[in-house]
A and B are shown apart, each in its own frame.
Chain A
Amino acid sequence: MKTILFNPFEKYTENKLFAFGVLITLAGSYLGYLFQGRFDGVVDLHFVPSTTLFEPLIDNLINIVALFLLLFILGKYINNKTRAIDILTPVLIARFPFYLLTFSNYQNYISGVSEKLIASLNLQNKPTELDIATSDMVITLLFALISILFLIWFVILLFNGFKVATNSRGIKNNLLFAGAIILAEILSKIIFIFLN
């Protein structure tokens, strides 16, 4: 179970992993459409008033291409034997936690709570006088906590997949890996700015 959740790349063939990755990308993009989620960055998920069917899919494709390019270049630098398919599969599968997070906006739940919180933030009030219901605060904090855990899950999946693909070791390579994710996030954001 631990292998499936955190490091399926060690065990399963690239064909199975790729098929699963494509399937969850399509399903996740559809979930984004159902729950008004936009994946507007490699490590982003935002809920908006409405989305078209293809917007979340295009978001995901941009994120996948940006992350794949950066990690593949780094993978080739670390180990010349790195194959593109072994980098692509973790990039596809690591996004699974983001797709699961879209369920939190069932019937606009999280975006509704967020809007209520923003509306209660009257700039004239002092921070101690904010009119925020305890239940809303608890839900927001819980969502934030789950989001952080899922973000960690994303990084673990990506890191394990990258490690298997490249046989990467050492602090230097780990730092380069972190840098590649940050660069991919910047690259994806630049693409999104150009598209909008």
Chain B
Amino acid sequence: MNPKLPVNCPSCENGLAVSQLTCGNCHTSVSGNYPLPLLLLLPEEEQNFILQFFLSSGSLKEMATQMGKSYPTVRNKLDDTIKKINQLKTQTK
């Protein structure tokens, strides 16, 4: 099971930031305060949707076929995701 990346504080629900990164090979650690990239703030399902959109060269028709959904359903999902990203952009500014 892949552990889910927490993006909000379980205590106060504020957005979390990266404070430590570790090299998997030599175990060198880097500490600091790095904000999470915008895309990682989205739920995993929406991240996968964006990845699929990218891999299908932005063709909503192809995505609709792959997902077994109609074209407007996929377009609505994309519009909702864009709306959400714009909201997150405003919030993180």
List A residues at the B interface (Cβ < 8 Å). Answer: 9-14, 17, 81, 83, 86, 164-165, 167
Contact = CB atoms under 8 A, between A and B. Distances in A.
Contacts of B70: 9-14, 17, 164
B69 A10 contact: yes
Interface string B57-82: 00000001000111111011001100
A13 B71 contact: yes
Contacts of A83: 72
Contacts of A9: 70, 72-73
A167 B76 contact: yes
Specify the main secondary structure of chain B where it touches its partner: helix
Interface of B: 64, 68-73, 75-76, 79-80
A98 B68 CA distance: 29
Contacts of A13: 64, 70-71
A86 B68 contact: no
Contacts of A167: 72, 75-76, 79-80
Top 8 A-B pairs, shortest CB-CB distance:
A167-B76, A86-B72, A10-B73, A164-B72, A165-B72, A164-B73, A167-B79, A12-B70
Contacts of B80: 167
Contacts of A10: 69-70, 73
Contacts of A14: 70-71
Given A9-B73, A10-B73, A164-B72, 4 more contacts: A10-B69, A12-B70, A14-B71, A167-B72
A83 B73 CA distance: 12
A81 B75 contact: yes
Contacts of B72: 9, 83, 86, 164-165, 167
Contacts of A81: 75, 79
B71 A11 contact: no
Contact of B69 (A11, A17, A86, A165): A11
24 contacts: A9-B70, A9-B73, A10-B70, A10-B73, A11-B68, A11-B70, A12-B70, A13-B64, A13-B70, A13-B71, A14-B70, A14-B71, A17-B70, A81-B75, A81-B79, A83-B72, A86-B71, A164-B70, A164-B73, A164-B76, A165-B72, A167-B76, A167-B79, A167-B80
A11 to B, nearest CB: 6
A34 B17 CA distance: 70
B82 to A, nearest CB: 11
Contacts of B68: 11
B18 to A, nearest CB: 34
Contacts of B75: 81, 167
A83 B71 CA distance: 10
Nearest to A87: B72
